[in-house]
Structure 1
Amino acid sequence: MGTLWYNGTFFTMQNEHETVEAVYVENGWITEVGKKDTLEKKYADSIRERHNLKQLFIYPGFVDSHLHMVGHGEKLIRLDLSGIQAAEEMKTKLVQASTETKRDDWIFGEGWNENNFSDRKIFHKQELDEISHGNPMFLTRICRHAALVNSRALALAGIKKETKDPEGGVIVRDDSGEPTGYLLDTAADLVKAVMPKVSDEYVERALKVAVDDLYRVGLVGGHTEDLHYYGGFKQTFSQFQKVIDGKKRKFRAHLLVHHEAIAEMEAEGYEKGEVTSYLELGAVKIFADGALGGRTAYLRKPYTDDPSTSGVAIHTEESLQQLVKQARAKNRPVAIHAIGDGALEMTLTALERYPLKEGRDRLIHVQIADPSLIERMKKLPVILDLQPRFVASDFPWVIERLGEERIQYSFAWKTLLQAGLPCAGGSDAPIEPADPLLGIHAAITRKSVGEEHEGYVPEQKLTPFEAVQLFTSGSAYAIEKEHERGQIREGFVADFTVLDQNLFTIAPDDIVHANVGMTIVDNSIMYKKSE
C-alpha cells in the first residue's frame, strides 16, 4: 500500500532551491520523488491513498536538536513566569498562585528572568515568605541553572548559614552569610531532593501535553534530556514508551542520558540505540557549566559586569575527564553542555585525552568560542548543538556580561559553519519557546521579533537555507541519521513539516507568521490545522 503526496512545493534540502512536486511513500519511507504524473503512472497499481496538499510548502520534518520534553510540558501545565516583564507583575502572579494552593503544598513557577525587569530585581526569601504564607516555594529561572526558594523550602532542605556550597553550585548569601534564597546550579538540587516525588500520572500528563504542543509548531521529533529528574530512568522512560506508542502518537524522540542515570539504564537492560522506531537512547549527557543569565556559565576570564566571578564549573577538570573516560569504557559518545569558553576548553581537553573510537560527540550550546577553540573542535568528531533563539533573548544584556571583545566570537553561528563544523538547531525548551520558526527567524535576523535594527553582530546572520538546515539535516547528522532523515529523497523517512509560506522567499520578519498546515510523522498526519 502506497501514498502519493502531491500539489505542493517539496523542498528536498539536498541543494538550495531544489524542489519536487510530488512524493510517493511506502511503509513510512519515501520510495520516489518527482513529477505527479510520472509517479501516478509508475505506481498506479500500488497507490491506495492520495493527499492533495493544496499548494502548500513541504519541508523535511523539523526536529529540535535540544530540548527537555517533560520540562516543556511542565511549563505548559505549571505557573509560567517566562513572559513577565516587571517584578511587580511577577509578584502579582505569585500572590494569585499562593491563594490557589492548598496549605503545605509546594508552589512552583517556571521561567522568571530578571533581565526582563527594568530594575533587574531578584526576589529575596523574605519577600517570598510574605507571598507564600508558609507554603514551600520553588521558582525556576529561565535558564534552569538557578532557582529562587523561600525560607520554608530552605528549612526543608536543611540549608542554613553553616551549609557549605555543594560542588558545582552556589548558595547565594547576604553580607552576614545568611542564604538569600537564590540557589545556583547544583545548590538548587539540595531543595529538589526534598520535593514530593513526581507520580507516573504527572510525567505522563506533562509528556502528552508536550508532544501535542510540539506537533502544533511543526516538530516531528526532538533530542531531549529528561531521564534523571522525574523519579529516575525507569519511571521516566516508561512514560515515554507509554505516550509515544507509535499509534496515537508518533514522534521521533532521541533521549540523551544524564551520566547519573546511566547505571539505572544498564540495570534495566538498555544500551545506546533504537528501542522502537520512535524512541532511541543516545549519548551520555554531562553538564560542564551553567548559563550566562545567572553568571554561572564558566568563563576563562571574569564577567565584564561582575569581575568577582568567572562562573561555575560543574565539575573539576579531573572529574569531567573521568566522566568522559567512563563513557569511553563502553564506547559511548558524550553530549556536553558547555556555554562558557572556560567550560568549552575543559570539555575539549577531556575529548582530546579520551577520543571516541566511532560516532560523534555533541557539544551543546557553544556560545563562546574564539579561533583557538574552533581550531581544536575542527580536529574532533563533534556536532555542535546550537540554539539560535538565544540571540533574541540574550541580547542586548549579554553584551554587558561579556564585553565588546568577547561578544565578537560569541553566538557566532556563521563563523562555526564557515569553519566546516557541523551544526544542529534546537530551542532548549522550556528555556526558549519550542517553535522552530522562532529559531529560524533568529538565525537569519539576529534580533527579536518586532525589533527594528540590522541585528546583533549582523555578520553572523545565516541564510534561510542554512537556518532551515539546522533543524532538518543538521538534527539528523547529530544522531548519525543523515542517510535516512532530514531530507526529502528516496530512502528517507516520510516525515514532513507543511507550512503555508515559502521560508526561502518571504521577508525574514514574516517567517514567524507562517502557519503550520500539517505535521506528518511516518507518513501519518499527527497534526492538521483547522480550516
Structure 2
Amino acid sequence: MGTLFYGGKIYTMLKEGEHVESVYVEKGFIEDIGAEEDLRIKWGAEINKEVHLKGYPMYPGFVDSHLHLIGHGEKLLRLDLSQATSREDVLMRVRQKVESTPKGEWVIGEGWDENQWEDSSLIQYQDLDQLSTEHPIMLKRVCRHGLVVNGTALKIAGITAETRDPEGGIIQRDEAGNPTGFLADQAQELVTAHIPQVSEAYIRQALSVAIKDCVQHGLTGGHTEDLNYYGGFLRAYQAFQDVIHKEKQLFRAHLLVHHEAVDDMYTYVEEKKDTSAFIEIGPMKIFADGSLGSQSALLSFPYKSDPSTRGVAIQSLDELKQLVRKARELGMTVAIHAIGDLAFQYVVESIEQYPPQAGQRDRIIHAQILRKDLVHRVKNLPVVLDIQPRFLASDFPWVIEKIGEEHLDYCYAWKTLLDEGVMCAGGSDAPIEPINPMLTIHAAVSRKTSPNSSVVYIPSERLTVFEAVRLFTLGSAQAIHQEHKKGYIQKDYVADFTILERDLFEIPADDIPGVQVQMTAINGEIVYQK
C-alpha cells in the first residue's frame, strides 16, 4: 500500500524544466512517476493515501550539506545576537540576559558580527565587566571562530599577559600586551574548557528544536558536525538516536565526525553497528584554518586590512597530511574546512598524497578564496566542494577590504567551479548563517546582500535558479556519494520532498527569500504542513 502525490508541478531535477504530474510512493521510496491518470490506473488498488498538492510545486527534498544541528538549536534557545545592529545593541541585550541569570552562572550569547555595525570596533572585556563581574560572560562571534569574554571569564581560564598563544589560536592583545578578551580559533578552548558541561536533556532539547526548525524550512536532511562539543562523541550521538529514533522526529542526519572524536566513534559504532537510513556516520571533519571575519583564514598573501598576518594554520601541512592518512587507514573520507587559498592548497596536497578509496569522495568545506591553479587541481580529484553562498550576503563588501580587490578573481567563484565540472553542494553553516535555504538560493542567484540592494558582487559568478536548487538536491547527494538514491524525483529514490508556495523557476529572483514552505515530506510521510 502506498501514497499518491499529485495536483502540482513536480520537478524531477534530472534536467532543467522537467516535471511530472504525480508520484507514487511505497515504504519510503518512489515506486513510480508520471501522468496522474496513468499512475491511478496502474496503482489504483495499492493507493491507500493521497496528498493533493493544491497547485504548489514539489521538488526533491532539500538537504543542507553543512550545518551544526545542535548548535543551531542552541542559537534558538540561547541569547541570539545575530540581529544586533551595533556594539551598544549587543551590550543592551547582554545586560537584559545578565539581569535574568542567577549570579555565578555563565551568560552565553551567539552570533554577533561587527561587520554589520557602523562602528566595527570589537567589544572588549572591560565593556562586559561594566555589565557584570559576578557572571562569567562569553559571546560567540557569528563565524564561531572567535569569541569575547569578560574579565571574570579570563580569570577563570587563567589568561593573563604572560599566557602564550596556543598552537592554531590567537589571544588578541592591546598595545601593552594585555588580553583584550577576544580569542580566535584554538584560543577559544582556553575558556570553553571551563564552561560546565551541559546536560543530556539540554542536548536533546537543542537537537529537537533544530530539527523542527529545519523541516519548517523545507529541509529533509542535513550533513551536520556536532560530535565533539558536548562532552564527547557518545553524548551527542545518543541525542541523535533518542530524538530521531525514539522520539520519531524524522530527519536524515549525516554525521561528520571531528578528528578528535574519531577514535571514540570507531570503537562505539563497530560494537553497536546502529546506524540507519536516518542516522549515518560520515567523514572525518578537520579544520585547516579559521575565518575571514576574524582574519584567521589562511591566505598565501597578507591581509590588506592587516599586513602583519596571513591567517592561522590550525593544522600544519604535515599535521593535516597525517590526519588524512589516519582517515584512510580507517577507511574514512575527509571533510576539511578551508576558507583561505593557502589552507585550500594544503588540503589539495594532502588529498593528492593520500587519496580516498575507489568509489569514495572527500569534501572541502567553504572554499571561498581560491586561485586558478587550485581550481584546475581540485577538478581532477574525487572531491565535492561544500559551499555556502549565503556567506556572500554576510561578507560583502567588507571582505574586499580584508583581502583586497586584486585577489577577488577566484573568490566565491561558484559559477566558475560548476563550469569547470567541479561538484558542489549547498549548505548554510547554521547557526553561522540562517537555516532558510531560500536565502542561500537567492544569494547564489543574485550575488546581492539583500533583495533591496542594487549592488551585484562579481555578477559573472551568478548561478541560475536551477543550478542553485541543485546544490541542495543533487549536490548534497553527491557529497555523500548517494546520487543513485537521493537528489532526484525518480523511481527507487527516497521519498523526500519539499513543497513550496511558489515556483522558484517562475518568479523574480528577488522574490525567492520570501517564499514559504507548504509541506515537507520525509520517507513519504508529511512531517510539516503550513
Per-residue CA distance 1:371-414 (angstroms, 9 max, x = gap): 10011101210000000100111001111011111112100100
1:447 aligns with 2:448: yes
TM score, norm. by length of structure 1: 0.98
Q: After superposition, give the CA deviation of every residue in 1:93-135 in whole Å (9 maximum; x if it has no partner).
A: 1111111110100000000001011110211111111112321
Counterpart CA distance in 2 for 1:330 and 1:106 is 39
Deviation by residue 1:245-284 (Cα, 9 ceiling, x = unmatched):
1763110100000000001112213499980110000000
Q: Distance in 2 between matches of 1:272 and 1:503?
A: 43
Gaps of 5+ in 2: none
Q: Indicate the residue corresponding to 2:14 in structure 1.
A: 14
Question: Could you say what the CA RMSD is over the residues aligned between the two structures, in angstroms?
Answer: 1.3
Q: Determine the structure 2 residue equivalent to 1:56.
A: 56
Amino acid at match of 2:152: R
Per-residue Cα deviation, 1:62-85 (whole angstroms, up to 9, x for no partner)? 000000000000000000001111
SS in structure 2 opposite 1:510? Answer: helix
Residues 483-524 of structure 1: CA deviation (Å, up to 9, x unaligned): 101110001010000001110110000111111000100001
Who is 1:113 aligned against?
113
Query: Is 1:346 equivalent to 2:358 in the alignment?
Result: no
Aligned equivalent of 1:130: 130
Relative to 1, partners in 2 of residues 1:99 and 1:319: Cα closer, same or farther, differing over 3 Å? Answer: same
Q: Work out the CA distance in 1 between the residues paired with 2:340 and 2:451.
A: 29
- Deviation at 1:369? 1.1
Give the letter aligned to residue 332 of structure 2. R
Q: Secondary structure at the match of 2:84?
A: coil
CA–CA distance in 1 between the matches of 2:212 and 2:334? 29
CA distance in structure 1 between the partners assigned to 2:178 and 2:440 by the alignment: 41
Larger mean Cα displacement after TM superposition, 314-323 or 467-476: 314-323
Question: Letter of the aligned partner of 1:506 in structure 2?
Answer: I
Residue 253 of structure 1 is matched in structure 2 by: 253
Given that residues 451 and 511 in structure 2 are in contact (C-alpha distance below 8 angstroms), is that contact kept between their aligned partners in structure 1? no
Q: 1:272 to 1:172 in 2, by over 3 A?
A: farther
Residue of structure 2 equivalent to 1:231:
231
**Greater alpha carbon shift after TM alignment, 399-408 vs 273-282:** 273-282
Work out the CA distance in 2 between the residues paired with 1:355 and 1:45.
Answer: 50
2:389 paired with 1:379: no
Q: Partner of 1:491 in structure 2?
A: 492
Please say which of residues 218-227 and 325-334 is displaced more in the overlay: 325-334
2:438 match: 437
> Hey, what does 2:188 align to over in structure 1?
188
Evaluate the alpha carbon distance shift between residue 439 and residue 180 of structure 1 in structure 2; reply closer, same or farther with a 3 A threshold: same
- Matched residue of 1:284: which SS? strand
Structure 1, unpaired ranges of 5+: none
User: Deviation of residue 349 (structure 1)?
Assistant: 1.0
Cα distance between partner residues in 2 of 1:121 and 1:307: 18
Indicate the SS of the match to 1:188.
helix
Deviation at 1:448, TM superposition (A): 2.0
Structure 2 Cα separation of the partners of residues 452 and 117 of structure 1? 17
Match of 1:319 in 2: 319
Could you tell me how far apart the structure 1 residues matched to 2:343 and 2:65 are? Answer: 20
Partner of 2:525: 524
Mapped pair 1:357 → 2:361: no
- In 2, the alpha carbon distance for the partners of 1:392 and 1:294 equals 17
Question: 172-181 or 250-259: which moved more?
Answer: 172-181
For residues 57 and 274 of structure 1, do their structure 2 counterparts lie closer, same or farther at Cα, with a shift above 3 Å needed? farther
- Kindly report which structure 2 residues correspond to 1:117-516, keeping only aligned pairs within 5 A, or say none: 117-245=117-245, 248-270=248-270, 275-358=275-358, 359-516=360-517
Q: 2:42 — aligned with what?
A: 42
Deviations 1:307-331, CA, capped at 9 Å, x for gaps:
0110111011111111111111122
Q: Which amino acid aligns with 2:516?
A: N
| 3-state DSSP of counterpart to 2:127 | helix
Q: Distance in 2 between matches of 1:450 and 1:60?
A: 25
Q: Following the alignment from structure 1 to structure 2, what is the Cα–Cα distance between the partners of residues 454 and 270?
A: 52
Give SS of 1:268's match: helix
Q: CA deviation at 1:190?
A: 1.0
Is contact 1:384-1:421 (8 Å) kept?
Answer: yes
Taking structure 1 as reference, are residues 82 and 226 closer, same or farther at Cα in structure 2, changes over 3 Å only? Answer: same
1:459-481 alpha-carbon deviations (Å, 9 max, x no partner): 10000000000000100110011
Q: Distance in 2 between matches of 1:307 and 1:270?
A: 48
1:289-323 deviation digits (Å, cap 9, x = unpaired): 00001101000001011101101110111111111
CA distance in 2, matches of 1:317, 1:272: 35
Contact in 2 for aligned 1:445/1:454 (Cα 8 Å) = no
Letter in 1 for 2:350: A
Q: Is the 8 A contact 2:133 2:151 kept in 1?
A: no
Per mean C-alpha deviation after superposition, the further-off stretch among 152-161 and 285-294 is 152-161
Supply the distance in 2 between the matched residues of 1:278 and 1:332 (Cα, whole angstroms).
Answer: 19
Q: Quick check: 1:10–1:57 contact (8 Å CA) kept in 2?
A: yes
Structure 1 Cα separation of the partners of residues 477 and 367 of structure 2: 19
Q: Secondary structure at the match of 1:8?
A: strand
Q: 1:239 to 1:438 in 2, by over 3 A?
A: same
State the secondary structure of the residue aligned to 1:269: helix
TM-score relative to the length of structure 2:
0.98
| Separation in 2, partners of 1:305, 1:83 | 25
Corresponding residue number in structure 2 for 1:29: 29
Distance in 2, Cα, partners of 1:282 & 1:246: 21
